[in-house]
Structure 1
Amino acid sequence: MSRIVLIILASATFTFGQSIETIIQKGHELAVVAMAISPDSNYVATASRDKSAKLWELNSGREVRSFLGHQASVISLDFSHDGKHLITGGNDRTVKIWEVKTGKEILSVVLDDATGYNKQYGSGQERINDVAFDPQGRYFVTLGQMVHVWEFPGGKKIKSWMVAQGNRGAESLSLSKDGQWLAVGTDATVIVYRTKDWTPVHTIKPRAYSSCGGCFTDQVFSPDNQFIIKATKQEVVRYDLAQANPVTTFSKHIDDVTSVDVSANGKKILTATEKVITLYSDKGDSLFTINPQLAGEVTQARFSYSGKEVLVACDNNVVLIYDATTGKKIHELSGFLNHRDKGGLTYDPNSYWDSYIARYIRYKNNLLLSRDGKTLLKGKFGNKLKKWDIATGKTILEFIGHAKAPLCYQYSADGKKLLTGGGDGKLILWNAEKGDTLFTIQSYNEPVFDVHFNSDESQIISSSWDGSVKIHDAKTGKRLHFFELKEGSAYVSLLSKNDLYVFTATLGENTDKLQMREIDSKKIVRTFEGHTDVVASLVQSRDGKKLLSASWDGSIRLWDVATGLAEKKFTGHHGAVHVALFNNTESGIYSAGADRIIRFWDLNGKVVKTFDGHVAEITSLILTPDEKMLISHSLDGVTKFWDLDTGKEFFEHIHFGEREWMVKNPEGYFNGTDGARQYIHFVNGLKTYSVDQFFHEFYRPDLLPKIFQSRGNNNLKGIQGKLNTAPPPGIKIATLPGDDATQAEVLVRITNTGSSIESLKLFHNGKSIPIEKSKLALPTRKDESTTYRHTLTLVNGTNTITASAINKEKIESDPQSVDIVADHGGKSSVCYILAVGINQYKNPRMILNYAKPDAESFGKIVNEKGSLYKSLEVHTLYDEEASRTNMLKKLDELAGKIHQEDVFIFYYAGHGSMVDNQFFFIPTESSRLYDLSALQKEAIEASVLQDKLKNIKALKQLIIMDACQSGGSVELLATRGAAEEKAIAQLSRSAGIHVMASAGSEQFATEFAELGHGLFTYLLIKALQGDADGAPKDGKVTIYELKSYLDDQVPEMTQKMKGKPQYPYTFSRGQDFPVVIDKD
């Protein structure tokens, strides 16, 4: 019998108190090959070649969790009849059953030689091609060369029989809804069995001669259990189950069929080929086709159980969702991994021809720690390398020079130089402190796999996919030695400590070898026999006498270099080991790999400690010089920081592509870029929560400094604790027609879920609109609900109305939205600008040079390029005019004349101040920046401005702030900067507007005489002059183009002018819209 592992859960009941999970919206890294829809149609499970299955919330598209444990591609899956369990089958010949609510594995069945396949039928291994649950919950079925029926939940085998002897096996498996029939598809034939006694009842062969041996066959039972629909390359036909007679032909020829499905009501049939999806009526008529226009192939298509959606799994690693009535795309299930810039490395891991090099390049994913332990460096940010500050999480330097992604890199011993090898075949030596290129060697035409300095850094050794190893002079770039490897490409290459020998770990079909060559003769002098798969990592001991290797065969080995013999073999990993290194005293070894667990071993081979937390394969490990912290990095872009004293993770840093990043501690507190928050959310059981629901309490721009001060030990109440005591309010939204076509009545139902509700928020196309407090009655008791009614004036086109509620603990409900389309002609928009610039202050020490010219220049450029508006009004307040009274009066005046269709832009250049977690705009009469009582009388607090902006009806609003602070120590300014960043973010979120601001306190809004402006406004004006007009260039500069330009250019220019990058604060809420247009 097969090997069975049954894992008994301590309890089948999980309350709201179970541990909350932080989920990164990663998506699949490799092809999605199968899907299953939960019985309630709320969730989708996907199986992928990346060795994982994932659960998604269909409505929101959020990734709920990953099911990790398979050691090869997951190729099939199915939900149990009650949706509580998920079964997965993989190319590791393993079937696993998981609890959906927790992700816990409860049963594992490994098909091995003991199943009887080898004994009865000779050579070869038994496959798993499909799995299915009995609709009645009594058993599950696995399919390969044989059918196996297993008891559920116990896992005892009930019945087995052969269906397709050979390496491939049968392709597909189906069970009727009533559980009375089992169908197996193989080689254009479907065999139907009666489950009562497992006897074959029908064998449905091709109706005409078929030359397609081994072609894929799929089938599905009708919901009424009366018919079976068979799909092959030859045809798609419905047969009656009584006599197996053909009833309806849907297609007489269908190339490269991948799946067939039927809607829950039996009215529609869905077929998928590698390129096209077709929907048919149950009468056989073609309704419409969906052509996803993919570079890859469609692997499967399924109806949701509601029948409203068609889900399409693809080779491009995503699931596309279409409206089942119109065929229009409405959504997709994907994550940041699906949208990363691949840096010109376009090898398709799903292609037979590219799969090997794609796999090898995938695991070139290393991190470097600077000599001072303050920064980390990594490649594969498009074609760039990035260096970021560990203490802030922010990028401080980019290395731009490779035409394709940098794959390998090493610092010089003093940390002043950086050596890199890229996918473009180039070797580049850099000034590591400035990012300048010292010289470039175009050494290869294929990707560089490894690059290192020799012991005195006079030479560079490198190896490439082209099968060669080269040694170059590190000063001139001249090639000194060339090795042509007959054994295959060197995945790892390293010079011995005495610089006399070269270690190479080569790739090749059944020839993966670890060898040592003498440099002058090029001869192999040692072959280290033992590893049976790719050697991914090599490290020498300090004295050069020992060699440590990590391999995809699952082992780590310690070698005696003098003899070539292994001294110790370390086993215990499940799957490939990607990295191993000595601890600083060389008394132990750290290792990690495909099983996502970091292990620390003593030299006797005993595991002393493990570090568990990654959910993707770990490819890099670094020990800090003081050995107090371990840094690990995985394929999904997550870098974790572990306290070695406690063995606990105290924070993680996540890169989401080239620009976005986030840091987070285990309690759920976070900091990061505005765009990063779309890729992270929280899950409790099956309930998902967006990060923004916890923004008020858990967004902490000062998170990392506080973590390092406390070493992760704090008394912060985590998200789990908040949810237990103060669950978010419930919210529902609906609309009714208004008195005429320009109006609608909005109804918002608010439910108290156990915590007092503090406020209601309502947004129209992303812009906050005032709540009529006289009509609002908030529920005060648990489970009580109230309804708020609001009459809304609609704009022409789509009106998106969004509502959310916040409780006393500052936990927000998940926003709910409804769309209303209005067609009443609309009005032409007017652009209103209020430009405030203050050079002159009552306090002479606060006088600025460029605030007024900056405001004047901004108004001028928008006026010159504002032809897209019906008209444009520029209102200004400069110097002594810019008093608190005048600024508030002007905002009230504009609120009386601005309409919904109009655009409002508020530009402010002057001082800003952050005191007691409140941000203040400083009018001309203010004389003290950090006196709270004075500021409350003389200045304008951000919440006051927020209320004024709510009263301005324009749905499209932008605030631009070039505000600076002065005075105080660097440490004090840094603290104020973190609070200022949060205050500006809250202003954007609460008012539903776009905010773009210079970094005022933390990084100084700097004035440069040579620019004639503050640096931020200098770049802002260049952007509006057309520099920010992105692809496709259409003469317009939109909000998001402007944001992207400032996010890129401000740090780049401040790096050049100050030697340190500054980062603007850019937060976007509401609609994108063009700010200017170039008439030329």
Structure 2
Amino acid sequence: MNRYIVYFSVILFCLFASAQNKTSILLSSTGHTGKIRDLGFIYGTNELVSVSEDKSLRWWNIEEMSLKEKRYLPDIIERSGSNYAIAINENLNLVAVGSAYNTLKEYAPVTIINNSNKSITKTLNVHQNNIVAIAFHPTDPLLISGDESGKLVLWDVSDVLSPTEINAINLSDKINEISFHPSQNIIAVATDSKLIEIIEYDPTNKKLKSNKPISGHYLGVNRVSFSSNGKYLISGGQDGYVIIFSQEGKVLKKISGLGHEITSLAITDDSEMAIAMTKVSGMGRSYTLPEGIPIAEFNGHSNTVYDAVFLKDENNNYLVASAGGLENEILIWNPINGTLSGKIGNGSAAVHNLEFVDNKLLINQTSNRQQYQYSFDLTDLVITPNPDNVISKNNKEDIKQLTPYLLKKGSINVKNDKDIDGRILSYYSTADEGILVGSDFTLSHYDKNGEYVGSLIGHTGGVRSITSNKKYWITGGEDEVIHFWLKEKYEDGPFASLYIKDDNEWVLWSADGYFASAGQGADHFGWLKPSSDDFQAFFNGSQFFSILFRPEEVQLSLEQGISVENILKAQGDRIFSINNIQRPAVALLEHPFSIDENNRSFYLISNGEVYQSDVAKITLPVKAIDGGSGIKEVAVYQNQKLIKSHQISSDERTLNLEYEASLLPGINKFSVIAINFQGIESRPDQLSVNYTGSAIATGDLHVFNIGVNNYKNSSYNLNYAEPDAKAFLEKIQAQSGNIFENVYAYSMYNEEVTKANVIAKFQEVIAKAKPQDLFIFYYAGHGTVDLESEFNDYYLVPYDVTQLYGNNEMLKEQAISAQELKNMLAEVSAQKQLILLDACHSGGAVELFAMRASPQEKAIVQLARSSGTVLLSASGTQQFATEFDELGHGVFTYALLQGLDGDADGGNKDGKITVNELKAYVEDHIPELSKKYGGSAQFPTGFSTGQDFPISVKQN
């Protein structure tokens, strides 16, 4: 069968399969993960809008360099949904998006969006090819769209709810860009021919017609733009020239010297300055108009710049936003001096190189192929930065790349189609003497005779790296994702996928939606639930954390090549289908707000996003609405720390609640979520309050430390839990006095440690701690999981618990559950909290642990995440914290003490140890210590939210 027939058959199959499945998984990081094809700036606001091949449409706040809104258009399936062009009409407050051809709908959509409420007003459906150019008239209610086939359509958008087609015309070449003249009824069209087509339009007679074209380029024209005063027309060509024409089409200036074809142009709204940017080199240059005199050069992008626009800052000075490079990022720079002002949306980077050595995946996300940034251990799901001692396996010596589109292996040739595949970016010799070929648009498998076998469909950007192990082909690309493909079932799509933002933030997800992650990694992927007439509903991975965060099962799945669902079925666990989700509940912070002094109200500052208050206590009204599966809990956070967890006992569909909050000086960021009975979280509703009242005195430190060496059931006894707890308290007291006004200790050991005593001691802390304080909870002893409960509840085990497993009534009555601990942490007012759990000891429990899958890591991470604390725990997946006689401590506390002594002081070596420095030190050194003294590396579990803060000062 012809290779292209096979290829498109596979695509069509995936398209219809995807439509049937209803919900699809995709990466959705802070930044774009595909080529950013077009930008638009809304003058008079701080909003920059971008569209990308990653299928998303995003609004950015250029003052804060942050993401404001993210949307996905309807019916995005597999290859459709890429967005190529954007236009903005400020008078009508409209955004128009031109997208790829939709196989199911059988048209390429022009989507009209109301920018005020970010809703779709209309979808226009006359194009039969990818729409790559779109423009609004600067003053009249007109829109024009052009596609790759050369079709040009003029629209009347005076009725924003029902735009109408005025006329269409077919040109002979692909359209690349369109520009309206501001005062004459003409349109300039850049095409793949050497000509700029000039199209006349007559709104009265509703006709488009070709006029005399403008010549000047000797290759295709990529960009064209009229100046806002109508005096100049500027074009950029595939020949590398920028040409400044008069409005009559006379060449005023022909500019060379950028070295590559021009891929983006922009003109200031005063018509006095222009910029041009290039393919491959990614450089840009600003010029005066109409003289074409160079002003400044910019070299910030690593590769092609797909679009650039002028912005205005708060002082009315011009800046440039340019999008491109292999990082798919937006750079903000100064066109007068060429300096970089900032980056928007830079999430991760393209995966340039992969290699598999000793069950570790070596990963390089820089263009320097001589080094690897990360090693990802598939056994322990641990990322190590800057791995050493790499032994390279060269599997490409027998393949030669002769041209950007041609490979040779022995006597066979593999040739790419320029339009279907694009350039060859990577290749790999397979065990059966075949070849995998990664390209701009495809990833293809060829046999030893050079015959096409099949396509691996899953990447949304060029595939730049390929490696393998016994079970998988592993690929990475410009979409920043690493895919694992089962060799015998690669037609089914990726078996698992990995995204790394940095070594502290990553997510690994399976094809059935279960995942393992570190840091805020779960925020970077999620599910689209289709809609036929509005933006698709996007559910973030974090919303399903309590259900789908299954690190042990994900690791086992990757190791064995068995789906997580089948592993869970074999274990008798509940299966959760993302396709059957109930709509999450909704929680909203209501307006207006009340203050406890004189019943004064908040008032808004100018940007409408931050409230002001000069009193320290406020009341937050919250409305919670049932989405179909009840409301189990409402949680309120201040600066990411849980301040109230409200367990709901009623079955009301709508609840109105109030919470009191004490403000800290400066900005206080509040958020609220509702959790339904499936364990699904709502998207957080957020607001910020700026407290302008009197400053609060320096904070205090509260340390509650517990150590249980001797248990009532002596088979559970430990050697170093009590000494570890005492040593930690002594160290933190000695080294924290210079940071805190007072240090308060709350301690208990051995038989003192009962549930009642722990709760009573917590009440002492709750009564004394203030919002500006730091609270540290240190626990050394046993921890356990009730595997009989629905959500595998986690418990800290006091002295008098005599049975770790098989007696859930005893655990409920005498142990301290994670939910109870979370509620007590919420009541502690201290905004900065650190939880240290040396609670995965072996002792007499080792046989019981060994007989069961260990869900402790999930429970511990969920505790940290839901409480908004920084948490460190002794051991990770299916491991046990170990006590070594040579160290005189458990390895966890030994590493803590070394770090607090000063070894964790990183960065600028300022003598202060912060929680993030301590976390990084412990995570790096526990594997080394446990391997040195015990023979095998152990990996701690860590999770942090919110700001970094100091806890210790190095003693000289």
Is residue 2:912 matched to residue 1:1036? Answer: yes
* Residues 834-862 of structure 1, C-alpha deviations (whole Å, 9 max, x = no match): 11111111222222111111111111111
Q: Give the structure 1 partner of residue 596 of structure 2.
A: 739
In 2, distance between residues paired with 1:900 and 1:943?
Answer: 22
Q: From the superposition, tell whether residues 569 and 336 of structure 1 become closer, same or farther in structure 2 (CA, over 3 Å).
A: closer
Is residue 2:456 matched to residue 1:607? Answer: no
- Conservation of the 8 A alpha-carbon contact between 1:996 and 1:1064: yes
In 2, distance between residues paired with 1:804 and 1:112?
Answer: 43
Match of 1:812 among 662, 681, 686: 681
Higher mean C-alpha deviation, range 1043-1052 or range 21-30? 21-30
Is residue 2:424 matched to residue 1:577? Answer: yes
In 2, distance between residues paired with 1:969 and 1:768?
Answer: 34
Structure 1 stretches of 5 or more lacking a match? 89-95, 116-124, 193-199, 223-227, 235-254, 261-271, 277-291, 339-361, 411-450, 453-536, 540-547, 560-565
Deviation at 1:1062, TM superposition (A): 1.7
Q: Give the structure 1 partner of residue 392 of structure 2.
A: 409
One-letter code of the match for 2:422?
G
Q: From the superposition, tell whether residues 337 and 778 of structure 1 become closer, same or farther in structure 2 (CA, over 3 Å).
A: farther
Alignment of 1:117-132 (within 5 A): 130-131=177-178
* Residues 1037-1064 of structure 1, C-alpha deviations (whole Å, 9 max, x = no match): 1122222222222223333333432211
Is residue 2:182 matched to residue 1:312? Answer: no
In 2, distance between residues paired with 1:718 and 1:964?
Answer: 28
Query: Secondary structure of 1:1060's match?
Result: coil
Deviation at 1:165, TM superposition (A): 1.5
Deviation at 1:689, TM superposition (A): 3.6
Deviation at 1:982, TM superposition (A): 1.2
- Conservation of the 8 A alpha-carbon contact between 1:667 and 1:718: no
Match of 1:1057 among 925, 930, 933: 933
Match of 1:858 among 720, 728, 743: 728
Deviation at 1:645, TM superposition (A): 4.2
Q: From the superposition, tell whether residues 619 and 310 of structure 1 become closer, same or farther in structure 2 (CA, over 3 Å).
A: closer
Query: Secondary structure of 2:680's match?
Result: coil
Match of 1:58 among 57, 60, 64: 60
Q: Give the structure 2 partner of residue 915 of structure 1.
A: 786
Is residue 2:809 matched to residue 1:943? Answer: no
Match of 2:894 among 1018, 1021, 1026: 1018
Is residue 2:273 matched to residue 1:231? Answer: yes
Q: Give the structure 1 partner of residue 475 of structure 2.
A: 632
- Conservation of the 8 A alpha-carbon contact between 2:176 and 2:189: no
In 1, distance between residues paired with 2:629 and 2:862?
Answer: 22
Alignment of 1:183-202 (within 5 A): 183-184=233-234, 189=244, 191-192=246-247, 200=248
One-letter code of the match for 1:827?
A
In 2, distance between residues paired with 1:777 and 1:735?
Answer: 27
- Conservation of the 8 A alpha-carbon contact between 2:267 and 2:274: no
In 2, distance between residues paired with 1:1025 and 1:62?
Answer: 44
Is residue 2:699 matched to residue 1:829? Answer: yes
Alignment of 1:511-910 (within 5 A): 537-539=396-398, 548-549=399-400, 553-559=404-410, 566-567=411-412, 569=414, 571=416, 574-580=421-427, 584-586=431-433, 589-595=434-440, 597-603=442-448, 605-622=450-467, 625=470, 629-634=472-477, 636-642=480-486, 644-645=488-489, 647-648=491-492, 649-684=494-529, 685-705=535-555, 707=557, 708=560, 710-711=562-563, 714=566, 720-723=578-581, 725-729=582-586, 731-734=588-591, 736=593, 738-740=595-597, 741-770=615-644, 780-781=652-653, 787-823=656-692, 824-866=694-736, 867-910=738-781
In 1, distance between residues paired with 2:21 and 2:866?
Answer: 30
Q: From the superposition, tell whether residues 974 and 868 of structure 1 become closer, same or farther in structure 2 (CA, over 3 Å).
A: farther
Q: From the superposition, tell whether residues 232 and 699 of structure 1 become closer, same or farther in structure 2 (CA, over 3 Å).
A: closer
Deviation at 1:976, TM superposition (A): 4.4
One-letter code of the match for 2:286?
V
Q: From the superposition, tell whether residues 29 and 745 of structure 1 become closer, same or farther in structure 2 (CA, over 3 Å).
A: closer
Q: From the superposition, tell whether residues 294 and 859 of structure 1 become closer, same or farther in structure 2 (CA, over 3 Å).
A: farther
In 2, distance between residues paired with 1:994 and 1:62?
Answer: 28
In 2, distance between residues paired with 1:75 and 1:165?
Answer: 30
Match of 1:148 among 197, 208, 214: 197
* Residues 993-1029 of structure 1, C-alpha deviations (whole Å, 9 max, x = no match): 1211111772211111111111111111111122222
Deviation at 1:293, TM superposition (A): 11
The percent identity for this pair of structures is: 22
* Residues 459-480 of structure 1, C-alpha deviations (whole Å, 9 max, x = no match): xxxxxxxxxxxxxxxxxxxxxx
In 2, distance between residues paired with 1:259 and 1:814?
Answer: 47
Deviation at 1:872, TM superposition (A): 0.5
- Conservation of the 8 A alpha-carbon contact between 1:218 and 1:258: no
In 1, distance between residues paired with 2:96 and 2:15?
Answer: 14
One-letter code of the match for 1:926?
V
In 2, distance between residues paired with 1:313 and 1:597?
Answer: 27
Q: From the superposition, tell whether residues 109 and 639 of structure 1 become closer, same or farther in structure 2 (CA, over 3 Å).
A: closer
Q: From the superposition, tell whether residues 140 and 578 of structure 1 become closer, same or farther in structure 2 (CA, over 3 Å).
A: same
Question: Taking CA–CA contacts closer than 8 Å with sequence separation of 6 or more, which of the two structures ends up with the larger relative contact order?
Answer: 2
One-letter code of the match for 2:26?
T
In 1, distance between residues paired with 2:860 and 2:916?
Answer: 17
In 1, distance between residues paired with 2:288 and 2:592?
Answer: 40
Deviation at 1:935, TM superposition (A): 2.2
Output the TM-score relative to the length of structure 2.
0.70
* Residues 256-291 of structure 1, C-alpha deviations (whole Å, 9 max, x = no match): 52799xxxxxxxxxxx97579xxxxxxxxxxxxxxx
Q: Give the structure 1 partner of residue 217 of structure 2.
A: 166
In 2, distance between residues paired with 1:756 and 1:1070?
Answer: 29
In 1, distance between residues paired with 2:945 and 2:541?
Answer: 15
Q: From the superposition, tell whether residues 1071 and 19 of structure 1 become closer, same or farther in structure 2 (CA, over 3 Å).
A: same
Deviation at 1:870, TM superposition (A): 0.9
Query: Secondary structure of 2:495's match?
Result: strand
Of structures 1 and 2, the larger Rg is shown by 1
Match of 1:19 among 23, 29, 33: 23
Deviation at 1:409, TM superposition (A): 0.9
Q: From the superposition, tell whether residues 843 and 1077 of structure 1 become closer, same or farther in structure 2 (CA, over 3 Å).
A: same
One-letter code of the match for 2:643?
I
In 2, distance between residues paired with 1:595 and 1:807?
Answer: 43
- Conservation of the 8 A alpha-carbon contact between 2:416 and 2:423: no
One-letter code of the match for 2:552?
D
One-letter code of the match for 1:390?
L
- Conservation of the 8 A alpha-carbon contact between 2:39 and 2:50: yes
- Conservation of the 8 A alpha-carbon contact between 1:55 and 1:64: yes
Structure 2 stretches of 5 or more lacking a match? 1-7, 62-66, 101-107, 113-119, 133-145, 151-171, 202-206, 237-241, 277-283, 530-534, 598-614
- Conservation of the 8 A alpha-carbon contact between 2:590 and 2:621: yes
Q: From the superposition, tell whether residues 720 and 596 of structure 1 become closer, same or farther in structure 2 (CA, over 3 Å).
A: farther
- Conservation of the 8 A alpha-carbon contact between 1:78 and 1:133: no
Q: Give the structure 1 partner of residue 606 of structure 2.
A: none
In 2, distance between residues paired with 1:650 and 1:293?
Answer: 36
Q: From the superposition, tell whether residues 665 and 771 of structure 1 become closer, same or farther in structure 2 (CA, over 3 Å).
A: closer
- Conservation of the 8 A alpha-carbon contact between 2:30 and 2:346: yes
Q: From the superposition, tell whether residues 151 and 314 of structure 1 become closer, same or farther in structure 2 (CA, over 3 Å).
A: same
In 2, distance between residues paired with 1:311 and 1:233?
Answer: 9
Output the TM-score relative to the length of structure 1.
0.63
In 2, distance between residues paired with 1:618 and 1:396?
Answer: 24
* Residues 571-622 of structure 1, C-alpha deviations (whole Å, 9 max, x = no match): 5571233455565454xx2422124533333455543322211223334445
Deviation at 1:1066, TM superposition (A): 0.9
Give the number of equivalent residue pairs. 802
Query: Secondary structure of 2:636's match?
Result: strand
Q: From the superposition, tell whether residues 901 and 885 of structure 1 become closer, same or farther in structure 2 (CA, over 3 Å).
A: same
* Residues 171-226 of structure 1, C-alpha deviations (whole Å, 9 max, x = no match): 85347999x9995458684544xxxxxxx4x9796xxxx8977899966697xxxx
- Conservation of the 8 A alpha-carbon contact between 1:958 and 1:993: yes
Deviation at 1:888, TM superposition (A): 1.6
